[in-house]
Amino acid sequence: MRLIIQDSYGKLSKWVANYIVKAINDYQPTTDRPYVLGLPTGSSPIGTYRELVKLVKDGKVSFKNVITFNMDEYVGIREGHPESYHSFMRKNLFEEIGIPLENINILDGNTEDLKVECDQYEERIKAAGGIRLFLGGIGPDGHIAFNEPGSSLYSRTRIKTLTYDTRIANSRFFDNDVNKVPKLALTVGVGTVMDADEVVLIVNGHGKARALHKIIEEGVNHMWTASALQLHRKSMIVCNDDATAELKMESVNYFKDIEKDNLEPCRI
């Protein structure tokens, strides 16, 4: 696993956006051979999405032949609700990057049979040829997508009950009222993320410091589901200095040293 440490959120966001653009451009996607990208929501990727929009507008990348799969969606809030992940993605990325609507995949948390929706999502990923790069964030408890502590590290797309901790964390988007945060969500599984050819996680801010320590410096553990990435053949965490507050000095120095020449996003 690579750990890229940037000194600010702005630099982290640029780094990740440039990395994604390079990954897409190196692949040279066409209609018959699209690039398949997994995407998260949350505040962490917002800076990266802003940078991606700029890079599209500057003509550095095109999303015409990119297919996206989002990680998760709440159950029971309408698609047009301002805090649905459908709305989030439309507002923060999709409206600005010229991606064909039919290339966008987001779980439907309002469908009658949620289990069928989850199973079909896995099939759709398979039919698209699998995910090349899954971008993700983490919750303060180290969850990836909505794979809350205790989730199977082999889990697939399914319905999850959100923990009280996660609902409190996300209540900032729901008038700070935990009762307005949905109790259920549909989410890709840890296994679904692990199937991607490559996984890149954004870890930003002091609030994620404990999780980063657990994920990197301790063992693989279903209570910190993002720690599964230790077993991925090509995973990378891009964080800022604040997020390293609970890492050993030795780890920080080690990763800074081995990445010191990679000022531009290099793909190894």
Q: Considering the candidates 72, 117, 195, 198, report the single residue annotated as catalytic.
A: 72
40 binds ligand GLP (CB under 6 A): yes
Q: Residue 126: is it exposed, middle or buried by C-beta count within 10 angstroms (0-12/13-18/19+)? A: exposed
For residues 41 and 70, the answer to whether their CB atoms sit within 8 Å is yes
34 binds ligand GLP (CB under 6 A): no
Q: Which lies closer to ligand GLP via its Cβ, residue 76 or residue 98?
A: 76
Quick one: tokens of 119?
A: 């199973």
Which member of 138, 228, 236, 239 binds ligand GLP (CB under 6 A)?
138
142 binds ligand GLP (CB under 6 A): no
Q: Which lies closer to ligand GLP via its Cβ, residue 67 or residue 211?
A: 211
Residue 143 annotated as catalytic: yes
As a whole number of angstroms, the distance between CA 254 and CA 39 comes to 29
Instruction: Identify which range of 99-107, 137-145, 176-184, 216-224 contacts ligand GLP by CB under 6 A.
Output: 137-145
151 binds ligand GLP (CB under 6 A): no
Q: Which lies closer to ligand GLP via its Cβ, residue 148 or residue 195?
A: 148
| CA quadruple 96, 85, 191, 105: dihedral sign | negative
Distance of alpha carbon 14 from its chain centroid, rounded? 16
As a whole number of angstroms, the distance between CA 75 and CA 83 comes to 12
Cβ neighbours of 135 (radius 10 Å): 26
Q: Which lies closer to ligand GLP via its Cβ, residue 65 or residue 155?
A: 155
As a whole number of angstroms, the distance between CA 137 and CA 168 comes to 17
CA distances from 90 to 104, 132, 241 (A): 10, 22, 30
For residues 227 and 165, the answer to whether their CB atoms sit within 8 Å is no
As a whole number of angstroms, the distance between CA 62 and CA 57 comes to 9
Which member of 42, 109, 182, 189 binds ligand GLP (CB under 6 A)?
42
Instruction: Identify which range of 34-42, 115-123, 175-183, 211-219 contacts ligand GLP by CB under 6 A.
Output: 34-42
16 binds ligand GLP (CB under 6 A): no
As a whole number of angstroms, the distance between CA 193 and CA 217 comes to 21
- Which residue has 């609030």 as its token pair? 207
Which member of 121, 146, 224, 255 binds ligand GLP (CB under 6 A)?
146
Residue 141 annotated as catalytic: yes
Q: Which amino acid is at 190?
A: V
Least separation, in Å, of the C-beta of 185 and ligand GLP?
A: 7
238 binds ligand GLP (CB under 6 A): no
Residue 119 annotated as catalytic: no
Which residues lie below 8 Å from residue 55, measured CB to CB, with a gap of 6+?
17, 18, 21, 61
72 binds ligand GLP (CB under 6 A): yes
How many binding residues for ligand GLP (CB under 6 A)?
A: 13
145 binds ligand GLP (CB under 6 A): yes
68 binds ligand GLP (CB under 6 A): no
Positions marked active-site: 72, 141, 143, 148
Task: Give the interface with ligand GLP as residue ranges (CB under 6 A).
Answer: 40-44, 71-72, 137-139, 145-146, 166
